[in-house]
Each structure stands twice: as structure tokens, then as C-alpha cells.
Amino acid sequence: MTARTPIIAPSILASDFAKLGEECRAVAAAGADWLHIDVMDGHFVPNITLGPDIVKALKPHVSIPFDVHLMIAPVDNYLEAFADAGADIISVHPESGPHLNRTLKRIRELGCKAGVVFNPSTSPSVIEWMMDEIDLILVMSINPGFGGQKFMHSQLAKIARLREMIDATGRDIDLEVDGGVTVETAPLCMAAGATALVAGTAVFKGGPSAYAANIAALKGG
């Protein structure tokens, strides 16, 4: 695989929630490619974050794509709300509904790109027979629910396996990694085959004046 500069998707979970609009504008101006939005329901994962109304409120603040990761179950009833709110990519977990294929098709019908998220224990084989329905694959290198966790190096082999599966299709499917991404772990993810990196603390540390340097560092600059 030819080396490429990673897509950087700052996770607003690590931002100042009292200034969400300002924070979104700041990371976009600092060179972020996507805005990563973690949606947690307190049921599928042990935390509660935000809903479609906040996504809708943030949409006018930036022009970069909204990369929405739904950690909710059952997920199907909420797809339309997040699409209407402005999601460009909607990613779901195979465990969050009974029919992954149907869910992915519905996401695309709503005009969004469809993503599949892998928990650390989820096998790549889950998507073996539906690669044509997928626009993005997200590998969790932590257990989902809270930011600030340590990177799980065991997931590098999974990233590499999913890269092989993507390349075998000949399709341009982005391979994203979320969890413990830092300037130290980012190159490992890219070497394994990732094309996009979600970063929370690594982007937002130091405040707005540091965002551009933090993003540049993650991109290898």
C-alpha cells in the first residue's frame, strides 16, 4: 500500500463541551479533515454523550464531513434522525442490531456513507460477505465508552487483516482507528493499513492555539 497522509478526525468527546461550536470551528481551521462525533446511550456502552439535536446545532459551524459513530442499541430507530441532523458518515456496531446488512443499506438510502465499527473482540469475519455495502471500517483500539484509554496493540493485527480484505475488493474503503491514537501510535496504525485516525486528547490538549501543531504532528508533519 502506498504511504499516504492520514485523514485526521478530532473527537469532540475530548473538547470543551461548554464551547462546542467554537471548538469545532477551531479544529476545522487547524487542519482537521473530518469531525468525529461519538454518540453513546448509556446502554450499549457505559456512558452518555449527545444526540441528534446537538449534531444539528453544530452542522452550520464547519464544512468538513461529520463522522458520526453510533454506540447505541438498538440502532436502527435513530439512523434517520442523525442523517437529518447532518451526518455525512454513520458508523454502527454489528452488535447494535439484528441485521447489519439491512442497517448499512438504510444508512446509504438516507444519503450517508455507511461504516462498520469493530470492538476489540469483534472478528473481521463479520463483514466478509458484505464488503460492497461498506464505505468505512472503524477499528476500536480501546473498549468504547470513555476517552483517554491506552492504545491496545493487539488491534494492529486486526487493522492489517481488514486492510487485506479491503484491498481484495479493489474498493476505496477508508480504514479508521479510534482509541489511544497519539503521535507514537499513529504511525503504527498507518503502517498496519489505516487511512483515517480519530484523536481526542492528542488534538485537543493545549487548547486552540495548539490544535494546528497537534494535527500536523499526527499527520507526520
Catalytic residues: 38, 178
Is residue 195 a known part of a binding site?
no
Cis previous bond, 74, omega within 30: yes
Is 36 annotated as belonging to a binding site? yes
* 201 labelled ligand-binding: yes
Would you say 178 is a known binding-site residue?
A: yes
Is 11 annotated as contributing to ligand binding? yes
115: annotated binding-site residue?
A: no
Determine if residue 148 is labeled as part of a ligand binding site: yes
Binding-site annotation: residue ranges for substrate: 11, 69, 145-148, 178-180, 200-201
Residues in the annotated binding site for a divalent metal cation: 36, 38, 69, 178
Residue list, annotated binding site: 11, 36, 38, 69, 145-148, 178-180, 200-201
